[in-house]
Chain A
Amino acid sequence: MLETRNLDKSFGAIHVTRDVSLKLERGERRVILGPNGAGKTTLFNQLTGEIAPSSGRIILDGADVTALPVAQRARAGLSRSYQKNTLFDGLSVADNLGLAAMVAQGRGMGLGRDGLLHPEVRETVEEVAAQLRLSDHLDARVSEISYGMRRQLEVGVALATRPKVILMDEPTSGVGPEMAKGFHDLLAALPRDLTLLIIEHDIDLAFAVADTITVLNYGEVVFDGLPEAARGSSLLKEIYLGSWEDA
């Protein structure tokens, strides 16, 4: 479903992605682990097209998308959420979800009726809001909901495009442990045919949701395999040091 082949990225002398080759099957749920600065977000940015790789290829659903601009990859079924909330802050929760659904449904350029009032758009808004337990807050502005809810909305906006593949960059960052756990339960309840690639700092949460695990360190894939195998990895222990002992 999503594949990278020998992906490489340097910013001048800094080598942030080193020969990364990954392969996600349809419906696979893969978690990316790695310390701060390992190049996880930079990898996402290359997958979506927000940053061009120095070399290597990206294949989405059988098609080489390496040269495609961001919007076209999104239209091909790739969606993402950001580590730092990238919401429409002045708008309501419903409008945030509605814009995503409207654009994804190809109604973002039309001159006809109100783009947000289309029944199909509204239906998606309600569905995604229900999926993420945001239904009671649809009319609230982003600035009026809690930080934890904003993190959920961040993922909700990505989900509202009804993607084939969704990339989530630390969806629970900055959220308390209880809410993070609840959030992961919501993620676990997502349709099984949706391919998930999640960057997660919390190892327990990672193991709870992951079918497969990739560990990045200094831009390099240092582990790629099943969670059980990851548990035994001495490398992972080394990288995570303290937090691994707690886990």
Chain B
Amino acid sequence: MFRHTPLRVAALALLAVAGIGYAFGASYFGLEILTEIAILAILVLALDMVAGFGGMVSLAHGALAGVGAYGYAMLQAQAGVAPPIALLGAIGLTGALAWAIGAVCARSHGIYFIMATLAFGQMAYSYIFETPVFGGDDGLGGISRLDLSVLGLDLMDSRNFALFCLAMVALAYAACAFVLRSGLGRSLSGVHESEQRMRALGLTVWRVKAHVFGLSGMIAGLSGALAAQHIMYVSPGLLSWTVSGEALVVVILGGLGTLVGPLVGAAFFVVLKHEVGAITPYWHLVTGLVLIAVVMSRANGIFGALEAWVGRRRAARQPQPLAKEVPGNA
């Protein structure tokens, strides 16, 4: 059940200040990293919404982001649609596809759900890879970024684009929080706890799953459309299942079902990739070790561990702690 705790609000504020502050101080390379973090953050927010709050562990989200990227590329660069419309179109297209995937997969659970989403992701990958209009292995280029000159912003400037992506993270976060707090989001939490009981209470469970999966897909589509604008080029690798796997690693590293945790996870993951990657090509080994440590510690990721620690400290300070204040996942 999603709720904002003081700790979460504080963490969000800190992340916002750090992100914006860094954007103004960073060099070109730093801005590229910040943009990469922001785009990944949007994808993992989308994934946490379904996996963390609905138990729908998806291996299709990488492909969904890829569909958003190709959707934007096709509309904007190939069909010549105005970038804002292309962006909305890409988001809508990804959302519709995700809704259909969610509706079909809604009846499967656990490992079967994961495999079904993986299958859909792979289908999307091979469709894009094999269809000539998408440029095959070579991908598509000639992609323009959004034109925000009316606001006096040139998004071709790395700093402006990084700030724009940060604003999109804030928007995606607000959208996730809005959905999770709505009746639909509360129903999703109930379904996560007991699908049988929610059904017996009168809820059409598959619809809840499909709707949330569709909304999550829209956010994944936004992430992909931003990625397309960032590199101004799309290739089938965007839809690779490893992107979904990586996103899942980030969500678990950060803290499943916390919404804030995945943001922390995204920053941690990208920084680790670049910092350790600069020293040794074996950076995946380090990420692997960190992931194993997090999983073995049985904490709910980095942010979950922080919440547990704060909870314990508060309990220690108060002789008679309010049991309800002990944080768990969400």
Contact surface of A with B, Cβ cutoff 8 Å: 48, 50, 70-72, 74-75, 79-80, 82, 86-92, 95, 98-100, 102-104, 107-116, 139-141, 144, 157, 161
Contact (Cβ within 8 A) B193 A108: no
Contact (Cβ within 8 A) B324 A91: no
Contact (Cβ within 8 A) B201 A113: no
B27 located at the interface, meaning its Cβ lies under 8 Å from any Cβ of chain A in the complex: no
Which of B185, B193, B211, B322 is the one whose CB lies under 8 Å from A88? B193
Contact (Cβ within 8 A) A161 B194: no
B186 located at the interface, meaning its Cβ lies under 8 Å from any Cβ of chain A in the complex: yes
B294 located at the interface, meaning its Cβ lies under 8 Å from any Cβ of chain A in the complex: no
State the CA gap A100–B207 with chains docked (Å): 17
Q: Could you tell me the distance in whole angstroms from the C-beta of B255 to the nearest C-beta in chain A?
A: 15
**Interfacial chain B residues near A74, Cβ < 8 Å:** 199-202
State the CA gap A113–B204 with chains docked (Å): 20
Contact (Cβ within 8 A) A114 B186: yes
Nearest B residue to A160 by beta-carbon distance? Answer: B201
Contact (Cβ within 8 A) B187 A103: yes
**Interfacial chain A residues near B202, Cβ < 8 Å:** 71-72, 74-75, 103-104, 108, 161
Interface of B is mostly: helix
| B: number of interface residues (CB 8 Å) | 32
Which of A89, A99, A110 is the one whose CB lies under 8 Å from B201? A99
B182 located at the interface, meaning its Cβ lies under 8 Å from any Cβ of chain A in the complex: yes
* CB-defined A-B contacts under 8 Å, sample of 29: A50-B200, A71-B201, A74-B199, A74-B200, A74-B201, A82-B197, A86-B196, A87-B194, A88-B189, A88-B194, A90-B1, A99-B186, A99-B198, A99-B201, A102-B183, A103-B198, A108-B208, A109-B183, A109-B184, A109-B204, A111-B183, A113-B182, A115-B186, A115-B187, A139-B324, A140-B323, A144-B324, A157-B201, A161-B201
State the CA gap A91–B328 with chains docked (Å): 10
Known: A71-B199, A74-B202. 8 other contacts (CB 8 A): A71-B205, A79-B200, A87-B193, A88-B197, A90-B193, A108-B184, A113-B181, A157-B201
Which of A70, A75, A79, A115 is the one whose CB lies under 8 Å from B185? A115
**Interfacial chain A residues near B198, Cβ < 8 Å:** 99, 103
Q: Could you tell me the distance in whole angstroms from the C-beta of A140 to the nearest C-beta in chain B?
A: 6
Contact (Cβ within 8 A) A110 B200: no
The 6 closest A-B CB pairs, nearest first, are A115-B183, A74-B202, A110-B183, A88-B193, A115-B186, A107-B183
Nearest B residue to A109 by beta-carbon distance? Answer: B184
Nearest A residue to B330 by beta-carbon distance? Answer: A90
Contact (Cβ within 8 A) A92 B201: no
Q: Could you tell me the distance in whole angstroms from the C-beta of A206 to the nearest C-beta in chain B?
A: 24
B271 located at the interface, meaning its Cβ lies under 8 Å from any Cβ of chain A in the complex: no
Nearest B residue to A94 by beta-carbon distance? Answer: B324
**Interfacial chain B residues near A75, Cβ < 8 Å:** 202
B170 located at the interface, meaning its Cβ lies under 8 Å from any Cβ of chain A in the complex: no
Contact (Cβ within 8 A) B189 A140: no
State the CA gap A139–B322 with chains docked (Å): 10
State the CA gap A36–B328 with chains docked (Å): 38
Which positions 296-330 of chain B face chain A at CB distance < 8 Å? 322-324, 328-329
**Interfacial chain B residues near A98, Cβ < 8 Å:** 186
State the CA gap A19–B136 with chains docked (Å): 64
Contact (Cβ within 8 A) A141 B190: no
Contact (Cβ within 8 A) A91 B189: yes
B179 located at the interface, meaning its Cβ lies under 8 Å from any Cβ of chain A in the complex: yes
**Interfacial chain A residues near B190, Cβ < 8 Å:** 88, 91, 99, 103
Q: Could you tell me the distance in whole angstroms from the C-beta of A189 to the nearest C-beta in chain B?
A: 23
State the CA gap A69–B38 with chains docked (Å): 43
Q: Which residue among A99, A110, A116 has the maximum number of chain B CB atoms within 10 Å of its CB?
A: A99
Contact (Cβ within 8 A) A140 B182: no
Q: Which residue among A86, A111, A139 has the maximum number of chain B CB atoms within 10 Å of its CB?
A: A111
Nearest B residue to A81 by beta-carbon distance? Answer: B200
Q: Could you tell me the distance in whole angstroms from the C-beta of A100 to the nearest C-beta in chain B?
A: 5
Nearest B residue to A105 by beta-carbon distance? Answer: B183
B203 located at the interface, meaning its Cβ lies under 8 Å from any Cβ of chain A in the complex: yes
State the CA gap A114–B322 with chains docked (Å): 24
Contact (Cβ within 8 A) A111 B182: yes
Q: Could you tell me the distance in whole angstroms from the C-beta of B114 to the nearest C-beta in chain A?
A: 21
Contact (Cβ within 8 A) B211 A109: yes
Contact (Cβ within 8 A) A102 B186: yes
Q: Could you tell me the distance in whole angstroms from the C-beta of A109 to the nearest C-beta in chain B?
A: 6
**Interfacial chain A residues near B322, Cβ < 8 Å:** 139
Contact (Cβ within 8 A) B186 A109: no
Nearest B residue to A142 by beta-carbon distance? Answer: B193
With contact pairs A86-B194, A141-B324, A144-B323 given, residues A109 and B199 touching in the complex (Cβ less than 8 Å): no
Q: Which residue among A70, A87, A89 has the maximum number of chain B CB atoms within 10 Å of its CB?
A: A70
**Interfacial chain A residues near B178, Cβ < 8 Å:** 111
State the CA gap A116–B193 with chains docked (Å): 16
Nearest B residue to A117 by beta-carbon distance? Answer: B181
